Chain A
Amino acid sequence: MTRTEPATTDAPRPATQPTTGGAGATPRPVALAVVLLLGLLLLPFVPLVLASFAQGYFYPQVLPERWSLRAWQVVLEPDGATWAALRDTVTIAVSVAVLSLVMAVPAGRVLGTRRFRGRRVVELALLTPVLVPAIAVAIGLHVVFLRLGLAGGVPGVILVHLVPATPYVVLLTAGVFANAELELEQQARALGASWWQAQRHVTVRLVAPGLAVAGLFGFLVSWGQYVLTLVVGGGRVVTLPILLFATASGGDTAITAATALFHALPAVVLLVLTSRILGSGALTTFGGAR
């Protein structure tokens, strides 16, 4: 098997053809197989794009006979349901990200930098809520939330989104602190900086990019959440996933498609931007949380 070094010269720049390399770098069958693989993975977006720009997209049209911006106009209508749903989704997701980070920074620092008794138990306790299905959490908490008056409102939905988001952000934050060169903090102290100065000028700078990514992932966990919002929000908190599901059941394929794309785009853009800044490893970690 002949392997070549990653071609760093043209790597960061998106080429139109992913596989046409220089100097016979990629065997032709491999290139074709990769194109096929990527094509299959991206194929489901094609009917969404077509349907969202179609007017009367009747069977068996493959390309719409008449193109139209109607669905996008409806979806982007200033006082429409989409913007209201976007507002609630962003409010909830930002709150989840911020609250998760506030809890994750002290916990993640300890987990990432100290050995102590009970560490494995703590890690397991944090991993379980990430893996146990949301439906179990949702119906387990709903009754309690009803009694506390938290069901059917945004604060209750924020709280219940914290269940999968916070442990995940803590585990990511632990990784950030484990990989940061915190010895620099000791050196700053040795050179006479106060504890606060060392934190502010050294530690914060070391971990800030990593924490931003951890927070972003907390945001995305909340952004895509369906069943927790459905059960605890009781139909009165309409986030984008809830709106999309309702639209999909409604039957207007053009509006469903436009709503779906409207909901997908920010997540993809945010994550791709992050991976540009931090290397493609950023996307990897996100696969673990959903």
Chain B
Amino acid sequence: MSAWWHRHEDVRTWVALSPALLLVGLLFGGAVVMAGLRSIGLLGIGEGGPSLAAYRQLVTDPGFARSLGLTLYVAVVSTSLSVVLGIGAALLLRRLGAGRRFATTLFQLNLPVPHVIGAVAILALVGQSGLLSRLAAQTGLLDAPAAFPAITFDPWAIAVILQYLWKEVPFIGIVALAILSASGDDLEEAARTLGASTWQRLRHVTLPLLLPGVLSAAVIVFAFTFGIFEVPLLLGPSSPTVLPVLAHRRYTDVDLAARPEAMAISVVITLVVVVVVLLGAAGARRAIRGDAAVTEVGS
């Protein structure tokens, strides 16, 4: 027995992996399969054959289309701004001399803070009777909370996006900083010696260097901002609302007939995230090849 066990490394490998894989397979796989089956009317409460009624309903519902649009808009805008500002912050922090480590620690302080807290804090800052509104009133810029621009619960979901930036700019920034400090500045020095301007160095050396890692991080940010529930629930517009909130609303509807629709929405959310993750992974692979080319040129 023992000899057999030691001879078969592949068996040992899969035995070691099995607890974690079983958990993921049963719970995560189970959740996805259940949502899929119930979205086509199987295993649900109102029995009947499989049907695409829930999806037909979604396709013909203008509310769903607007919801999908809002969710994509929020995720795309938050992700793009996080990438730009995060890279900017990393380039800035890198130029600090003394105190860089302390500044970097402060920079990432928001990362472990749960999202509900971030949402409550942003509301206290930019809500209509929040701190900024109070400051504006003190300086005589406005006389009542209602005069402060409504950026909470607004159709453009500005407070929601601000909350995501508050959390994701540090994330992208830290990823970028890690790449920069791992690669050193030999390449940039070389480019400088060869007469490249600041902009040329950024455009042709630093950004290509950052691309693969930052792209992977951006995919994480997109998946996250596309799928989070509590922040838009607390800060976002209610009609249309984002898909995760809509799914939950349908799921908790007193009318149980809305449940297959909730499942269908959750299938759509999952599919969008999976497609973006696959596209991002492919893009990152291509970027790594491009990066290798840059490194070859540089060395």
Contact = CB atoms under 8 A, between A and B. Distances in A.
A142 B112 CA distance: 27
Nearest to A26: B97
Given A132-B32, A137-B28, A163-B28, A224 B17 contact: no
B158 interface: no
A166 B23 contact: yes
Given A144-B30, A166-B24, A102 B19 contact: yes
Range class of the A interface residue count = 35 or more
Contacts of B282: none
A191 interface: no
Contacts of B292: none
B54 to A, nearest CB: 13
A179 to B, nearest CB: 14
Which residue, of B17, B198, B220, B230, has the highest number of chain A Cβ atoms within 10 A? B17
Given A263-B117, A264-B114, A287 B24 contact: no
Interface in B212-242: 217, 219-220, 223-224, 226-230, 234
A207 to B, nearest CB: 15
Contacts, number: 331
Interface in A87-138: 102-104, 106-107, 109-111, 114, 116-117, 122, 125-129, 131-138
Interface in A223-238: 223-227, 231
A44 B247 CA distance: 29
Given A141-B31, A227-B248, A287-B175, A41 B110 contact: yes
Nearest to B93: A34
Interface in B107-123: 107-123
Given A62-B138, A284-B174, A107 B16 contact: yes
Contacts of B138: 60, 62
Given A128-B28, A160-B27, A41 B230 contact: no
B296 interface: no
A81 to B, nearest CB: 15
B137 interface: yes
A51 B19 CA distance: 47
Interface stretch (B60-68, B149-157, B262-270): B262-270
Nearest to A216: B112
Contact of B103 (A18, A47, A129, A227): A18
Contacts of A109: 16
A66 interface: no
A202 interface: no
Interface residues of B, number: 103
B117 A30 contact: no
Contacts of A4: 97
Nearest to A38: B106
Given A30-B92, A34-B92, A107-B17, A135 B175 contact: no
B81 interface: no
B20 A241 contact: no
A139 B35 contact: yes
9 contacts: A7-B100, A21-B98, A34-B93, A47-B130, A134-B229, A144-B31, A163-B23, A227-B229, A283-B112
Interface of B: 9-10, 12-13, 15-17, 19-21, 23-25, 27-28, 30-35, 38, 43, 89, 92-125, 129-131, 133-135, 137-138, 145, 166, 169-171, 174-175, 178, 185, 188, 192, 198, 201, 217, 219-220, 223-224, 226-230, 234, 244, 247-248, 251, 262-263, 266-267, 269-270, 273-274, 277
Interface of A: 1, 3-4, 6-7, 10-12, 14-15, 17-27, 30-31, 33-34, 37-38, 41-48, 50-51, 59-62, 102-104, 106-107, 109-111, 114, 116-117, 122, 125-129, 131-144, 159-160, 162-163, 166-167, 170, 220, 223-227, 231, 240-241, 244-245, 248, 253, 256-257, 260, 263-264, 267-268, 270-272, 275, 280-281, 283-284, 286-288, 290
Given A46-B125, A270-B112, 4 more contacts: A11-B98, A103-B23, A139-B262, A159-B27
